[in-house]
């Protein structure tokens, strides 16, 4: 009997993850933060790798190949020890290390629905020049004249049935000092992602709140602030010294943020507009190097900017666009595994799966054990549903907010119907209620609509295929007042289109809700609270449910409710 071929990819950057292939089929994946409960956790991969091995029912020595990547020190990543013990330490399995943007590129190319496509990677910072594995003698590599270490800021490739041709790589020197008293660029000087992270830090005190900055921008007013980026000769540069003075009041507290809300909103709008301008320019310039009509796949943290992605489509910069759903460093493990399977082992590229529900499945028995273990601590009751879709849809139609925990967890930053908090988007105060009483987060932050793929054109203007919630769309005017729970202040919505072929139960839920209400849209937000990763286990889901104003919790087929004070034991 032929032994299965297992290829493990592992990302050792921030937002660490592990991804496991069996004979070229994804079998398990997890982000480290879901296990440690520390947002954006990375570095050592012991927990994430062991999770994937356990999910597949194998040991480390059963692996055929391990491929890994980190931002720096590619050649110094020890197999046995990297910021702590590793699950792969005591095996003879071959280990490869690849550079940062190459891993990002493979993550997009392998998942894209095109046999041939261009791939553009844009992020905060990639590998140093001397550690890049994708340099070719004919490939233009742009660096500047400043002394110091140069690292990747954007890379462009053409992939043809699993064969990559690197075309252009741009690099930037690392920062030597802070560039302004109130504006600190992380890592390299001329990074689109670096500017966005720095603005996030300015407005929220956290480099990793880029999604929050995107949500704040529509509240901003147009301004005459100077350009952030210089766009010249196919390259993007940050105009330091020309705009730093605009960052004159860094956030010190939430009270200060609310007192000066308009200032921060104006900054966010400016940075978002400049980011879209820079990315649009870069895409136009890079696509000149491939045949007209070539589809484009995006990866790197900047690819998670749903507003910019929509602008690329709306303005006709590209016609066919795929965005890797785990576009940030949490997707590096995906690229590593596919690099190993296709490039190193010389396998053909398989038809990509749309599903990213690669977390382990928790059985009803697992769930019941969790509930029974909490029954003495909390006043809860539960029942097994004959039709969980019917029960969930009826609860939503009756105005209840529910936790929806189904199957394996999604890989990536968006909840897509397996680890979601759901509500009726028609309720006038539902956004405020969830932000204040469930998510415990700022009241300006919007929620996403999940809509049946076959109904998207009824509600949204562009009606793009958007299964991973990484494109914004505009609500049709006749629905703007009816779906206030998912419509942002500027009329935009970060839409998820739900396809029955690979997200069946969630599709059924929305369809049944639509049958009851005439509206085939649900409010969908990630199953977590502010500062916490999306829940992974039934116990974590139960904790969020019990410590919030959520009304009901559905753990697979099991419905959980809170007992009323007068309800008997």
Q: List the CATH number of the domain containing 49.
A: 3.30.420.40
Domain-embedded: residue 107: no
Which of 288, 313, 344 corresponds to the end of one domain? Answer: 344
Alpha-carbon distance of 98 to 102, in angstroms, equals 7
Alpha-carbon distance of 298 to 109, in angstroms, equals 9
Q: What tens digit of pLDDT does each residue of 130-160 get?
A: 999 999 866 778 777 788 899 999 999 999 9
Domain-embedded: residue 567: no
Which alpha helices (DSSP H) does 100-253 contain, by range?
100-111, 192-204, 210-216
At residue 343, does pLDDT exceed 70?
A: yes
Domain-embedded: residue 185: yes
- Both 97 and 120 in one domain: the answer is no
Q: How many domains does the chain have?
A: 3
Cβ contacts of 373 within 8 Å, gap of 6 or more: 539
Domain-embedded: residue 197: yes
- Both 87 and 186 in one domain: the answer is no
Q: What tens digit of pLDDT does each residue of 493-542 get?
A: 999 999 999 999 999 999 999 999 999 999 999 999 999 999 999 999 99
Which alpha helices (DSSP H) does 236-387 contain, by range?
254-259, 261-287, 306-314, 332-338, 364-374
- CATH label of the domain that carries residue 420: 3.90.870.20
Which of 312, 344, 376 corresponds to the end of one domain? Answer: 344
Domain-embedded: residue 359: no
At residue 175, does pLDDT exceed 90?
A: no
Which of 293, 314, 344 corresponds to the end of one domain? Answer: 344
- Both 66 and 182 in one domain: the answer is no
Domain-embedded: residue 354: no
- Both 120 and 89 in one domain: the answer is no
- Both 118 and 91 in one domain: the answer is no
**pLDDT confidence of 550, banded at 50, 70, 90?**
very high
What is the pLDDT at residue 80? 81
- Both 17 and 165 in one domain: the answer is no
- Both 319 and 338 in one domain: the answer is no
66 within 8 A of 57, measured Cβ to Cβ: no
- Both 337 and 375 in one domain: the answer is no
Domain-embedded: residue 434: yes
Q: What tens digit of pLDDT does each residue of 416-429 get?
A: 999 999 999 999 99
- Both 432 and 512 in one domain: the answer is yes
172 within 8 A of 191, measured Cβ to Cβ: yes
- Both 511 and 466 in one domain: the answer is yes
Domain-embedded: residue 476: yes
User: Taking the CB of residue 403, how many other CB atoms lie within 10 A of it?
Assistant: 24
**pLDDT confidence of 177, banded at 50, 70, 90?**
low
Segments forming the whole domain that contains residue 299: 113-323
């Amino acid at each position: 009997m032929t032994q299965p071929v297992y290829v493990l990819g592992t990302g050792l950057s921030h937002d660490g993850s592990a991804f496991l292939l069996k004979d070229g089929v994804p079998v398990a994946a997890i982000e480290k933060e879901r296990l440690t409960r520390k947002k954006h956790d990375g570095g050592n991969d012991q927990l994430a790798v062991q999770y994937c091995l356990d999910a597949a029912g194998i040991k480390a020595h059963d692996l055929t190949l391990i491929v890994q990547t980190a931002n720096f020190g590619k050649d110094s990543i020890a197999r046995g020890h990297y910021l702590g013990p590793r699950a792969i330490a005591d095996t003879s399995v071959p280990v490869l290390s690849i550079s940062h943007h190459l891993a990002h590129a493979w993550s997009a190319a392998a998942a894209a629905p095109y046999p041939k496509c261009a791939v553009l990677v844009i992020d905060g910072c990639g590998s140093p020049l001397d550690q890049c594995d994708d340099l070719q003698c004919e490939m233009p590599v742009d660096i500047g004249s400043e002394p110091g270490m140069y690292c990747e800021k954007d890379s462009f490739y053409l992939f043809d049935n699993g064969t990559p041709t690197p075309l252009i790589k741009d690099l930037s020197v690392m920062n030597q000092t802070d560039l302004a008293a109130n504006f600190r660029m992380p890592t390299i000087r001329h990074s689109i992602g670096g500017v966005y992270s720095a603005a996030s830090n300015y407005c929220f005190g956290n480099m990793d709140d880029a999604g929050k900055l995107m949500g704040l921008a529509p509240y901003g007013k147009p301004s005459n602030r100077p350009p952030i980026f210089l766009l010249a000769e196919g390259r993007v540069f940050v105009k330091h010294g020309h705009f730093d003075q605009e960052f004159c009041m860094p956030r010190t507290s939430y009270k200060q943020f609310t007192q000066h809300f308009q200032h921060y909103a104006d900054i966010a709008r400016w940075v978002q507009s400049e980011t879209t301008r820079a990315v649009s320019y870069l895409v136009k310039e890079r696509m000149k190097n491939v045949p007209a009509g070539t589809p484009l796949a995006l990866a790197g943290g900047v690819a998670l900017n749903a507003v910019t992605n929509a602008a690329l489509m709306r303005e006709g910069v590209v016609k066919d666009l795929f965005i890797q759903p785990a576009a940030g460093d949490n997707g590096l493990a995906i690229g590593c595994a596919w690099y190993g399977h296709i490039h190193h082992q010389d396998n053909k590229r398989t038809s990509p799966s749309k599903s990213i529900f690669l977390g382990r499945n928790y059985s009803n028995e697992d769930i019941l054990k969790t509930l029974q273990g909490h029954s003495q601590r909390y006043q809860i009751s539960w029942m097994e549903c004959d039709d969980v879709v019917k029960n969930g849809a009826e609860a939503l139609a009756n105005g209840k907010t529910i936790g929806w925990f189904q199957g394996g967890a999604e890989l990536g930053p968006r909840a897509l119907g397996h680890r979601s908090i759901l509500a009726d988007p028609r309720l006038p105060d539902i956004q405020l209620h969830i932000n204040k009483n469930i998510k415990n987060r700022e009241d300006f932050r919007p929620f996403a609509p999940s809509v049946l793929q076959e109904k998207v054109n009824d509600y949204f203007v562009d009606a793009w295929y958007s299964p991973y919630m990484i494109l914004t769309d505009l609500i049709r005017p006749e629905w703007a007042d009816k779906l206030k729970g998912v419509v942002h202040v500027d009329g935009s919505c970060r839409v998820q289109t739900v396809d029955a072929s690979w997200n069946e139960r969630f599709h059924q839920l929305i369809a049944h809700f639509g049958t009851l209400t005439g509206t085939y849209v649900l409010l969908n937000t990630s199953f977590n609270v502010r500062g916490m990763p999306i829940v992974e286990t039934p116990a974590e889901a139960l904790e969020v449910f019990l410590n919030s104003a959520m009304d009901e919790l559905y753990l697979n087929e099991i419905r959980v409710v809170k007992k009323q004070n007068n309800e008997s034991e």
